[in-house]
Structure 1
């Protein structure tokens, strides 16, 4: 019985330390993005994924859980998720996008994520509405790759 309590205590301590030290990305609902941009303009990070994509889950559960990455994204970007297989009509920056027909992906996912005629999962898009510029990173992005990307674009991490 004491072993079970000790193991339980260690597990709880481990998770509470992880939660206390970790940061989570502050995800913005796509429906509130336009109002958020109006009150506080900043770039947008769009994470395009599907439910079946293992690499998408890895990026969400590993890369986006790293404190440096999560902190920088939450501080400098509005972060939104788009399921490429969503069957809902989505409004992005005042424009309506329709779901794909059977066997096709959502028109917003295709518009933002397609590169050289291909849409890969996951795709991470960084978009600056004021300058109308964007960068598209296709495939699984590790924390190191994103940290290097941020550094190359002049973003600094909070220590």
Structure 2
């Protein structure tokens, strides 16, 4: 009986630790939003970006981060220098200067990344269910650093934070709950 209980506990811990973010394309998220409105979280990365790879390895692989994003957002993985075509409303965004020979190095910025004001990688975009940009956060963040933004935007608390002073107070009083190694 003890062995069975130990095996069951081990299987549950493996299942919980294997939590992955359900990444989709921007077009898939826009389509999903029309069926069931939900905010969109976009990880804007590039293939050559070291901090982007660290974000994947250290932050997005965290089971608490993955579970929270999956529950509260449509999660989009978007290459800011890729060649994906995005249709947002009546606009189409492409990367007309994309060079396929440069997929592993710096390439031309995508029109969607420029439209969203992305100037550095990684940048995480938080988009309201009506498609309007709430905010963008550019930088590598640990799970607990990202947690404050995820919860502030998912809950709608950001609507009462209209100054840097109020954000600083919110951040100071925030108590992270995501487990880290």
Structure 1's 36 and 53: CA in aligned 2 closer, same or farther, altered over 3 A?
same
Contact residue 34 and residue 93 of structure 1 kept, 8 A: no
Structure 1's 87 and 158: CA in aligned 2 closer, same or farther, altered over 3 A?
closer
Structure 1's 76 and 29: CA in aligned 2 closer, same or farther, altered over 3 A?
same
What does residue 51 of structure 2 align with?
Answer: 55
Deviates more, 1:21-30 or 1:95-104: 95-104
What does residue 136 of structure 1 align with?
Answer: 136
Cα deviation, residue 158, structure 1 = 9.5
Cα deviation, residue 89, structure 1 = 2.5
Cα deviation, residue 87, structure 1 = 2.3
What does residue 8 of structure 1 align with?
Answer: none
What does residue 97 of structure 1 align with?
Answer: 93
Contact residue 29 and residue 74 of structure 2 kept, 8 A: yes
Deviates more, 1:146-155 or 1:81-90: 146-155
Cα deviation, residue 152, structure 1 = 3.8
Structure 2: tracts of 5 or more residues without a match: 1-9, 99-106, 156-175
**RMSD (Å) for aligned C-alpha atoms:** 2.8
Aligned equivalent of 2:111, options 107, 113, 138: 107
In the alignment, structure 1 residue 42 sits paired with structure 2 residue 67: no
1:35 match: secondary structure: helix
What does residue 6 of structure 1 align with?
Answer: none
In the alignment, structure 1 residue 20 sits paired with structure 2 residue 15: yes
Give deviations 1:70-92, integer Å, cap 9, x for gaps: 11100010111111111233223
Alignment coverage as a number of residue pairs: 141
Cα deviation, residue 123, structure 1 = 0.2
Aligned mates of 2:56, 2:88 — CA distance in 1: 22
Cα deviation, residue 30, structure 1 = 2.5
Give the TM-score taking structure 2 as reference length.
0.67
Structure 1: tracts of 5 or more residues without a match: 1-14
Cα deviation, residue 139, structure 1 = 1.1
Give the TM-score taking structure 1 as reference length.
0.75
Deviates more, 1:104-113 or 1:76-85: 104-113
